[in-house]
Structure 1
Amino acid sequence: MGGNGKHRWKISFHRPSSSSSSSKMEANHHNHHKQQEEPPKDFLCPIYGALMADPVVVSSGQTFERLSVQLCRNLGFSPKLDDGSIPDFSAIIPNKAIKSAILHWCDSSGVVHPRVPDPATVEKLVRALMAEEEVYPSPPPFSSPQLRVSERELIRGVAENPPVTFSHAATELGPRVNHFYSSSSEESVVITADNPGTPLPFATRPLCYSSSSSSEITESETLASSIPNSAPASEEEDHLVRNLKSVDVVDQEEGVLSLRKLTRTREELRVLLCTARVLLALKPLISSRYAVVQTNAIASLVNLSLEKPNKVTIVRSGFVPYLIDVLKSGSIEAQEHVAGAIFSLALEDDNKMAIGVLGALPPLMHALVRSESERTRHDSALALYHLTLVQSNRAKLVKLNAVPTLLALAQTGSSASRVLLVLCNLAACPEGRSAMLDGNAVECLVGMLRRNELDSEATRENCVAALFALSHGSMRFRGLAREARAVEVLREIEERGSERAREKAKRMLQMMRGRDDGEDEEGDWEKALRSGGAGGVGRNLHGPNSTTF
């Protein structure tokens, strides 16, 4: 991530002076020792090249020195990084975790804490990068950290010649389907050898990525099938980008529909068309005021996000803040696609923290509770599940006071199984476990099991798994479980439940009798939670899927 790969700035560390030695052996030893103390790459600003004193996370997920971001924004420049991505500097958030890690590394390595760099030095480096990329600063009002010279001219054109307003869409990609999909074509069904009679459904594709009949072959799909499996012709991509960047809404609509259809079934095209040019042209259309343009732009992004190599690229291209805005105030259909996009992007481990830092958790919770669409609620719940696999997002969700809401949804909502998965993750951290115990989670979960109101065996297993996670390392659990008369419920599960549920019920009964070993339990329950104990959690997250959008 160090700049554009053309500069390699030498990093110096200010350390207490020591007496020099003329011995060649001592010099070699000193050099070897110095080499061992090179800081991790993530601690270095990709632009300035030195340890960051005031690190900030930008909209696309990367971390930079704050001064580097400010100067790039002032000069209207976004550098191309080593991985080919272009950062989005539209929003910055202090990265306290990285700052703490840098200071800890400095203390342990005997390196002086980094100081805020000299503005003149950083500006000189930024201008050198701009000269290499042939990008020049532009005065207000058209300066923007995301725009090159040609794009600023495009903005001027929009201001001088506003697009014609259309009251309706010219085209639509097939009829709108309003019912909730639950077929195995949209969910990966895991059937274990030790329990072949109990399928454990776990979605690996958003619900908005729906199947279509083989007879629905459109002109654009025929065009897609004629494109070779190698890289698409450059003129084809050029035509697509021209339409996406056009000031004419008809061209924009044609562009997003073409992109959506081209990436509908062809996995290789999803990878080949996920280029910096296409993403840069597509991003503004996520915020389009024309409903058909916006909806198909987000749907195209969902298609692109299905391929693992594209997931990090999309987040680092700065799409998440745009998606969050639509999730807050977009149409019902647009919100369905946004929830699916965030769920798909959250499957990638490298994206989880960035999506949480950029503020996706509150609107996802709101969508889970308030959305009129079952698809939106479904994909929002699974997005929250994947995001809470990392500790930082668990802590954020607990601070949002989400536990009481999730417990209420688990008892009354149609998303009980998926909500229980989120609760399992929260119970895996001390803050979440404490909040759940304070929120009467033990009595709620035991009551759900006692009333036998759960809609499937998988949901029942998730409920038992949430109780099992709560029992770990908590002296309070034993008393609360006795008050809720959990013993009789757990005994019934131990006798009649699935194998996973029986094992957890057995462990909890042993713990309540005082025969558990806390240290061993920690390893066991964490292992169970990760290996499918919560209804197949963690299995086949990126497996192939033949459905189409």
Structure 2
Amino acid sequence: MRILNHLEEGIAPDPIEIRRILDYLGIHKWSSCNKEVKFLDSEIGTEFSNGENKTKLELLCSLMGFMSYCRCVIFDTVEFESQHLNGQCSNISKDLKGINVDDLKCPISLEMMSDPVTLSSGHTYDRCSILKWFRSGNATCPKTGEKLTSTELVPNLVLKGMIQQYCAENGIPVVVSRGKNRDISRTVMAGSSAGEGAMKMLAGFLINKLVNGSREEMNKAAFEIRVLTKTSIFNRSCLVESGTTPHLLKLLLSEDSNTQENSIAALLNLSKHSKGKCVIVENEGLDLIVHVLRKGLKIEAQQHAAATLFYLASDEENRVLIGENPEAIPGLVELVKNENHHCKRNALVAIFGLLVHPENHWRVLASGVVPLLLNLLRDSEREDLVTDSLAILATLAEKIDGTVAILRRGALQLLVGILITSTSRTGKEYCVSMLLALCVNGGLDVVARLVKIPSLMGSLYSQLSEGTSRASKKASAIIKILHQFYENNSSSASVTPVLPREQFVHVW
């Protein structure tokens, strides 16, 4: 407790005393300490969701602050060979090759687990499912019926990493926990005075390493900031306020690929903080981030740069500044061509965010993105990439020059095909929005071509009842346009009716 009191008072603990405690706990390396931090974070989430024992919650927050301090200050070396920078084991991809997908699902809910935990029986369940089981008065393992010696839940981080990797590789939306414990809004505050004191001292320690450290120490400091700010709002606020941002920006020009990647990943996390955005822009960070986007030493760094631009673009002034940078939009479009799924996705959402500013419309069109996105629609099997591409195209189609660019590539049949076959309600909504814009801006020629596609009308009608509210309204508008066109041209033999006359309905 003396060390926790020191942290609360802002007094740096004695390193010798800390090492004695860590040795007693069997924590001898960075990865072991990091594992304890993750475990404590999981326990804090559980206690926070229960909301019953504030004293215990405060103690857990203090212990997590202490362990985070130890991880950064006491251990000089991160075992990168066994710890990927994203927190997942490096051999996960290999393990996925022989895994049974059912092993990734909770035996209770039969759904993909979001927060797998292991019982004393050795069996793993999703946290929310097993907690519900316990609250029903059960004290046994659901799978075996064995009476449990303890109801302690041990986070299965390896399996969690495998599930996230499997979802990413197969285009499945990343599963998030349904419980309150996954809501990082709880991290707005440190949770305890000791936890707050530990973070403030850590900020000073890490800035010193960024400024005066060796190349290895700078890299580790950037990596620690990356880890600390990944899911904690308080940590982001504390590190922004302490002045880490300008030093991280300077490291974007580092010739060491790991240092550059860790720095841009840390800035990505800080860009999610409102003041973090301002500090990045005030310190001329946009040009440096675009530099990494275009010439990053690792594809991961370019990927993080695209994501950082996306968060910065949530501010209208930044959307203007990013658009005015001659390398930004072309750099994002170039990244869409990369085979890496995360690169494509980050670039697509950043482009979509920039289109909110009207002046960026012509810049995106001039970048040649339309044929690129249409090819992606034809070739990609990933639902998320298709939806993101449709979102951009639908926005571009709202203006006449965007409509012209899309029609010149013969996209009508492709869009109708996606509308018919897609299983995504959002994707269908963007399809309908785009088709309506093409009808309005493309005139009678587009309408005449759509009327000749027999399968279109059935899909439009299905949107009236099955689609989103927005899709339903736009589908209704298209149906009205097609009906009016047919009625005005019913005497023309060149027009094939989309529905028998008696099946027409009034949609307004």
Q: With structure 2 as the length reference, what TM-score do the two structures score?
A: 0.54
| Structure 1 equivalent of residue 405 of structure 2 | 435
The residue type equivalent to 1:294 in the other structure is Q
SS at match of 1:273: helix
1:376 to partner: Cα distance: 1.4
Given the alignment, which residue of 264, 272, 282 partners 1:298? 264
Alignment of 1:252-267 (within 5 A): 252-267=218-233
CA contact (8 A) 2:307 2:346 kept: yes
**Preserved CA contact (<8 Å) 1:237 1:273:** yes
1:461 aligns with one of 422, 429, 448: 429
**Which residue pairs with 2:144 in the alignment?**
none
Change (3 A) 1:486 1:332: farther
CA distance in 1, matches of 2:283, 2:260: 18
Q: Give distance in 2, aligned partners of 1:435 and 1:251.
A: 50
Shift of 1:210: 10
Aligned partner of 1:390 among 348, 352, 357: 357
What's the offset of the Cα at 1:230?
Answer: 6.4
User: CA distance change for structure 1 residues 342 and 480 in 2, over 3 Å: closer, same or farther?
Assistant: same
C-alpha distance in 2 between matches for 1:504 and 1:366: 32
Q: AA paired with 1:175?
A: Q
Q: How does 1:122-161 map to 2 (within 5 A)?
A: none
Q: Which stretches in structure 1 are left out of the alignment for 5+ residues?
A: 1-167, 187-206, 213-220, 517-549
Partner residue, 2:302: 335
Number of residue pairs matched? 315
Q: Distance in 1 between matches of 2:84 and 2:263?
A: 12
Residue type of the partner of 2:399?
C
Does residue 446 of structure 1 match 2:416? yes
More helix, by proportion: 2
Summarize the Cα distance change of 1:346–1:340 in structure 2 as closer, same or farther, 3 Å threshold.
same
**Is 1:268 equivalent to 2:234 in the alignment?**
yes
Mark the CA change 1:447 to 1:258 in structure 2 (over 3 Å): closer, same or farther.
closer
Contact 2:199 2:238 in 1 (8 A): no
Please show how residues 192-211 of structure 1 align to structure 2 within 5 Å: none
| Alignment partner, residue 508 of structure 1 | 478
Structure 1 stretch 403-412 or stretch 488-497: which is displaced more?
Answer: 488-497
Assess if the C-alpha contact under 8 Å between 1:490 and 1:506 holds in 2.
Answer: no
Deviation at 1:477, TM superposition (A): 3.4
Counterparts of 1:466 and 1:509, CA distance in 2: 14
**Contact 1:427–1:469 (Cα < 8 Å) also in 2:** yes
Q: 1:411 aligned to 2:378? A: yes
SS in 1 for 2:321: helix
- Whether the 8 Å CA contact 2:447–2:485 is kept in 1: the answer is no
Matching residue within 430, 438, 455 for 1:470: 438
1:169 deviation in Å? 8.2
Q: Could you tell me how far 1:231 is from its partner in structure 2?
A: 8.4
CA offsets per residue over residues 180-224 of structure 1, 9 Å max, x none? 9xx9989xxxxxxxxxxxxxxxxxxxx999989xxxxxxxx9xx7
Residues 1:210 and 1:494: Cα distance change in structure 2 (over 3 Å): closer
Q: Give the direction of change, closer, same or farther, for the CA distance of 1:208–1:265 in structure 2 (3 Å limit).
A: farther
Correspondence 1:481-500 to 2 at 5 A: 481-485=447-451, 488-497=454-463, 498-499=466-467, 500=469
Kept after mapping to 2: 8 A contact 1:491/1:505: no
Kept in 2, the 8 Å contact 1:229–1:268? The answer is no
RMSD in angstroms over aligned alpha carbons?
A: 3.8
Shift of 1:227: 6.2
Which amino acid in structure 2 is aligned with residue 374 of structure 1?
H
Deviations 1:95-120 (A, max 9, x none): xxxxxxxxxxxxxxxxxxxxxxxxxx
Deviations 1:11-56 (A, max 9, x none): xxxxxxxxxxxxxxxxxxxxxxxxxxxxxxxxxxxxxxxxxxxxxx
TM-score (normalizing by structure 1):
0.51
2:395 aligns with 425
Change (3 A) 1:209 1:508: closer
Tell me: higher relative CO, structure 1 or 2? Use CA pairs within 8 A at least 6 residues apart.
1
